[in-house]
Structure 1
Amino acid sequence: MLRILKRSLQLIIIIVTPFACAKETQNSPEDPLKNTIKVIGADASAGSETKTTLDGFVTSWVAGDKVGIYSPQARPSVDGAPGVPNLAYTAQSSAAVSDFAGQIYWGTGAHDFCAYYPHTAGTFIAAEVPVSVPAEQTQVGESSAHLSTYDMMIANPIANLDPGTENNPAVVNLRFNHVFALLDFRIASITEKTIKEVELVAPEGTKISISGDVNIASATPAPGVSYAIGNPTGTNKVKVTITGNLDPTNDYNTTPGVFMMVNPGNYTGQTFTINIKTNDDVVYTQTRSGTEFKRGTRYLVKFNDELGANPVGLDGVANCYIINPRDLKTTFTFPITQSNNYWSVVEYGNVPDNVIDADDNWVASVIWQDRSKLVTLVDGGKGTGSAGQVKVLVDPGKYGNVLVGIKRDSNGDGTPDEGASYLWSWHLWITNYNPNDAVVKQAGVYAYPVTGGNVHRYRDSTAYTVWEHATYTNSFIMDRFLGAESTNTPYADEKGSYGVLHYQFGRKDPFPTLTSMYDGSNSVILSPITLYSGTVTKNVANQNPTQFVYGSSNWWSDAPTTNTRWQDHGSYASSKPILDPCPPGWRVAPTNLLWNDFNADKLRIDNMGSPPHMWTYTRAGANYPAYGFRNYSDGQIFAVGWQSTVWSAYAYYDSGTTSFNGAALVTNVDGAPGSYTNNVSFMNFGPRSFGFAIRCVK
């Protein structure tokens, strides 16, 4: 959210005019004084901070500043007719206290006065003084002199002031109030570029830039209450363009400010977007929760390590998204479309009450993250409607896995409905690996470089034609398991192995092997995975993404339980099942025959009997580390470091044993020291309640 720093400062303004000495006489109410009016002005708000220029935290007038004064009874000259409309007084020096050039004379009887800054030339009554905060503002380098153009102030009206005598005339004490608010942006995240523009975008329908008129003769609003602006027009954007150089430092206490005047208003509970353009025309964007901008107050907006790049929309509809962190904090967004895709379809969820309508509120939360502070949910995770997007802020240089889910939030207050279950959940794979880089198949080439690694093609054995079949002739397979931190043996500590994710056949959500992880507030979650013995419906499984179901060969109890790929309705050999756990454009290997060239000779293991084991398909240089599995009979983790097990999407029902199985690649090591055996089988069929690794194909 916007960080606010308020500093207390009283501003003294003195306006002095020539004084004519004369013999003291008694004046009747109809006999005007023959001397000019002395005016003293001061800032009416001890907490205000703005007035034209800023010298550090000291506020000053600038030579040439003009104020406009009105009085129905005062005269523009000694013998002039009563009425002073919009008379300009001009500051003579740049200082906290300045002499002002200009003169008005006392009329007869009690006097009323009102005034404003900066003076605008023209003929208009005190009830219709023009007021404006432009949408386009300009700052020269590190200077704040441009504020003299935008910082409007209105004096407290004075009523029924007795002129006094010629030798002892009354003094008009005008105390000025600021109409607008000042934002002081301190950018300390970009130290090798200069700042070109800063733009603040408020919610649609608001007017942080504004033009209209104001009645300066009306009573001054209470502190913090905005002036009423008549006939307002404006936009929800204000941009400051910097001419010359503004070079940020890496410390917000020393980095130069970008100063922006805005129309005050209460934006609590809303969202601001701040766009910062650098000299190379790169735009960095950050969303912040709104606050209340009060008139006459300066708000320090700090950008240290919180400045992010442009929000990145994650394309496609899926149950998993790859996030490649940027050099700066970045907001990534993804759609919640898949939730309704499931619940609204008869063949799948078929629960109308779980469908998110256009006006329905929901809230996202971090179910688990395997490393602390991987992501932060923007706007507290709040969203509306089926077209809404989940927004996550990701730090630079951090990698790991996150599971995010959404629940109903009927009140829209960021708190899930009491007793609400998850409607849907998504796996976020935060990695420097980008298998989506464009590659072109070449004959006899099996490894294709992409950002952070490779994608592969495998060779067919003499017994099969799969990779060169029309279905897979342009297919590629990732060089690592889904969620892996690298292609190597996973990093492990006392909590377990990082990036090792297991999936039950037909389920979209991963089951980490770590014994503790973190929630959205970065509190430790002990035993993040729960175990359930028996079977459940697919709907129950989807609403309980951390519950591993064990004890039966098939964890789900509702149809279909036949030989459909990854629980899909129909064979769909060339499409992505709705519960597929892979990122957009990728899917679980449709058939185990994609590994048909794998055998004990071609899948080399150099450390047999000395775990953690690593198998390498030498033709492509594809590594298969020993990620182990979760046992279907008790849900426990087995053989991490010893065995590699990888699901395909191919399902098989063994009528002889009445066992519901899935086809998988299994590699392991058997035997005893001195007589170990390397076992490799791409024709393994195991109960669907097993938890195996996934290697995605496109």
Structure 2
Amino acid sequence: MSYMKRFAGLVCAVAAIVFFASCSKDKESGSLSFNSPAVFLSAGQTVTVGFKSVNLQNLSVTNKPTGWAEPTIDVAAQTLTITAPATFDDDEVRTGSLVLAGTPKGGSSVSATLFVGVVESKDLSGKPANSYIVSKPDHNYLISAMHRGDIMAVLPASVDVVWQSKSGLIQYTELREDGKVSFYVGADSDDEKKIKEGNAVIGAYDAGGTLIWSWHIWAVNYDPEKTENQVVFNGYAMMNRNLGALANDNSTAEKILASYGLYYQWGRKDPFIGPSSYNAANGASASMYNGGGSRVYMKTEVSSAEAGTMDYAVRNPLTFIVGVSGSEYDWLWSAHSDDLWGDTKTVNDPCPYGWRVAPAAAFNDLSIVGAPAAGDADKFGWTLGENGNESLFIGAGRRIYRHTQENDTQGGGSIQNFYPTPIDKQVRSSALYNQPWVGYYWTTGTVAGTQSSAFYFWFDKADPANSGVQNNTPQRRANGMQVRCVKVE
């Protein structure tokens, strides 16, 4: 009897499995996606956007911005026609999300989201460069995907955010059919009239997923074309803040951190992010994120015949190439060139359109304004002047050009802020020594092929009377240092 019960139970179990399998065959998976991540319209404009629906039925719009008309769905053509409001009342919004949903046979609902917005577009493709300043909030920006310092022979296959200093700073990045890169930057959360500030790098990729070029996006409430945002030194009109800086102010820790700007290896166009804290106490980098909001990290690679090339540097904008004795402490292994940055704007110049890296001559005869006192070191920067013209310079230190020992992986690429300690003076503790009391700024000047001239200043807290400013001082090219841009004449 017990055997028969067990047999009957087994039959029921098998029947249940067969029934479940039979039912599961009736279920289908489905997918839904828009052809573009966002649609930007003018008030009252109607546009049609494509979507791809696979194995879905009962398509409907389940969410739309307040005040917007119901979009029209063409299932056969797989298009959605959207009309923006011509005017906006107090409760109606200019931007928002539109959600399209459908269900596969016997399955759960599938949806896709499209950002729609009545926003202005600003086309920067007519002013190509390796760096773009964007300063208007809630704008759709366009840059040329064909610009690679020169003109690319072929259109890239895709674009994406390589890194950004804030998650969601650059949104809805897309390569358009007309060869332009489209992206959106929103407003500051505390002031809708100001852009959300930060730095980012957008990369262009070939069909195999290899990065072939990239562009720095400098989102900042700053217009260097205004004369009040410039300083004239030795006849050169110079930006009054560092390339990539969000401020030029040392009155608070927050403003000091915002004023550092970005770090560059001599001759490379791509920036490296600044420190995680205003005093750069541990040499660590600030946080970075990709287009999906996940953390990304700077890498280091030792210069070699494979890694110490311009092609490798272009394809790896997140990689700091550490100098070694075999490369003469250049990030380039052997193809040393004095022409990567020059007195005319070059293919690798990192400054925005109409600007270039400052020459050494721009820093001639600069001096610290006023008599530095011992406590001034804590201000992390000094006002420098020439012929009555003045600008604050932040003591941002540098990213170290080499590893502590060539056979280890320590030190290279980390941010180090220190002032020179003569060997005849007392050796200071590392905590004191690594304070940001030195400003290093690259120039276009070069010395003997493998070393670069760098303008720098320092402040010796122990001996303020001998503090000062130096120019045309050779520094290893693998160093990561600050850049000031001057107008192209």
Q: Is the 8 A contact 1:264 1:293 kept in 2?
A: no
**Which residue of structure 2 aligns with residue 550 of structure 1?**
322
Could you tell me how far apart the structure 2 residues matched to 1:675 and 1:340 are?
A: 44
Output one character per residue of 1:567-620: Cα deviation in whole Å (capped at 9) or x when no partner.
Answer: xxxx6x3x310111011111111x2111113034x4765665633421112433
Give 1:648's match in structure 2, choosing from 443, 463, 480: 443
Residue 592 to residue 308, structure 1, CA distance change in 2 (3 Å): farther
**Which residue of structure 1 aligns with residue 357 of structure 2?**
588
Q: What's the secondary structure of 2:313's corresponding residue? A: helix
**Which residue of structure 2 aligns with residue 339 of structure 1?**
148
Opposite residue 288 of structure 2, the aligned amino acid is M
**Which residue of structure 2 aligns with residue 399 of structure 1?**
197
**Which residue of structure 2 aligns with residue 189 of structure 1?**
none
Superposed displacement of residue 483, structure 1: 0.6
Q: What's the secondary structure of 2:459's corresponding residue? A: strand
Output one character per residue of 1:182-213: Cα deviation in whole Å (capped at 9) or x when no partner.
Answer: xxxxxxxxxxxxxx952221259x9xxxxxxx
Superposed displacement of residue 266, structure 1: 5.6
Q: Is the 8 A contact 2:263 2:483 kept in 1?
A: yes
Residue 678 to residue 198, structure 1, CA distance change in 2 (3 Å): same
Give 2:243's match in structure 1, choosing from 479, 482, 493: 482
Could you tell me how far apart the structure 2 residues matched to 1:696 and 1:340 are?
A: 17
**Which residue of structure 1 aligns with residue 384 of structure 2?**
617
Q: Is the 8 A contact 2:69 2:84 kept in 1?
A: no
Q: Is the 8 A contact 1:565 1:651 kept in 2?
A: no
Q: Is the 8 A contact 1:648 1:663 kept in 2?
A: yes
Query: Does residue 1:522 correspond to 2:293, yes or no?
Result: yes
Q: What's the secondary structure of 1:365's corresponding residue? A: strand
Q: What's the secondary structure of 2:147's corresponding residue? A: helix
Query: Does residue 1:321 correspond to 2:132, yes or no?
Result: yes
Q: What's the secondary structure of 2:148's corresponding residue? A: helix
Q: What's the secondary structure of 1:611's corresponding residue? A: helix
Could you tell me how far apart the structure 2 residues matched to 1:374 and 1:603 are?
A: 40
Superposed displacement of residue 330, structure 1: 2.1
Superposed displacement of residue 224, structure 1: 5.9
Residue 545 to residue 200, structure 1, CA distance change in 2 (3 Å): same
Opposite residue 647 of structure 1, the aligned amino acid is W
Could you tell me how far apart the structure 2 residues matched to 1:603 and 1:665 are?
A: 20
Could you tell me how far apart the structure 1 residues matched to 2:154 and 2:440 are?
A: 37
Superposed displacement of residue 430, structure 1: 0.5
Query: Does residue 1:538 correspond to 2:310, yes or no?
Result: yes
Residue 277 to residue 596, structure 1, CA distance change in 2 (3 Å): farther
Superposed displacement of residue 476, structure 1: 1.6
Superposed displacement of residue 369, structure 1: 1.2
Could you tell me how far apart the structure 2 residues matched to 1:267 and 1:340 are?
A: 40
Q: What's the secondary structure of 1:432's corresponding residue? A: coil
Residue 663 to residue 310, structure 1, CA distance change in 2 (3 Å): same
Superposed displacement of residue 693, structure 1: 0.4
Output one character per residue of 1:307-358: Cα deviation in whole Å (capped at 9) or x when no partner.
Answer: 35212112411111001032xx32111112223827x6xxxxxxxxxx424x
Q: Percent identity?
A: 25
Residue 539 to residue 265, structure 1, CA distance change in 2 (3 Å): same
Could you tell me how far apart the structure 1 residues matched to 2:318 and 2:264 are?
A: 11
Residue 604 to residue 457, structure 1, CA distance change in 2 (3 Å): farther
Give 1:626's match in structure 2, choosing from 389, 392, 395: 395
Q: What's the secondary structure of 2:311's corresponding residue? A: helix
**Going by fraction, where is helix more abundant, 1 or 2?**
2
What are the within-5 Å matches in structure 2 for residues 38-187 of structure 1?
A: none
Structure 2 unaligned blocks of 5 or more = 1-41, 52-56, 104-111, 189-195, 276-284, 404-411, 418-434
**Which residue of structure 1 aligns with residue 416 of structure 2?**
638
Output one character per residue of 1:138-162: Cα deviation in whole Å (capped at 9) or x when no partner.
Answer: xxxxxxxxxxxxxxxxxxxxxxxxx
Opposite residue 370 of structure 1, the aligned amino acid is S
Superposed displacement of residue 497, structure 1: 6.6
Q: What's the secondary structure of 2:45's corresponding residue? A: strand
Could you tell me how far apart the structure 2 residues matched to 1:487 and 1:622 are?
A: 9
Query: Does residue 1:455 correspond to 2:244, yes or no?
Result: no
Q: Which has the higher contact order (CA 8 A, sep 6+)?
A: 2
Q: Is the 8 A contact 1:198 1:258 kept in 2?
A: no
**Which residue of structure 2 aligns with residue 374 of structure 1?**
169
Output one character per residue of 1:238-292: Cα deviation in whole Å (capped at 9) or x when no partner.
Answer: xxxxxxxxxxxxxx89x6x454674734676x79776544489xxx987989968
Q: What's the secondary structure of 2:377's corresponding residue? A: coil
Residue 311 to residue 686, structure 1, CA distance change in 2 (3 Å): same
Query: Does residue 1:599 correspond to 2:380, yes or no?
Result: no
Tell me the TM-score normalized by structure 2: 0.66
When Rg is computed on C-alpha atoms for both structures, the one with the higher figure is 1
Q: What's the secondary structure of 1:555's corresponding residue? A: coil
What are the within-5 Å matches in structure 2 for residues 232-631 of structure 1?
A: 257=67, 259=69, 262=72, 264-265=74-75, 275-278=84-87, 307-314=117-124, 315-326=126-137, 329-339=138-148, 341=150, 355-357=153-155, 362-378=157-173, 381-384=174-177, 387-397=178-188, 398-408=196-206, 410=207, 417=208, 420-437=209-226, 448-449=227-228, 454-458=229-233, 460=234, 467=235, 475-489=236-250, 499-514=260-275, 515=285, 516-525=287-296, 528-535=297-304, 536-551=308-323, 552-557=328-333, 559=335, 561-564=336-339, 566=341, 573=343, 575-589=344-358, 591-600=359-368, 602=369, 605=372, 610-618=377-385, 619-631=388-400
Residue 433 to residue 682, structure 1, CA distance change in 2 (3 Å): same
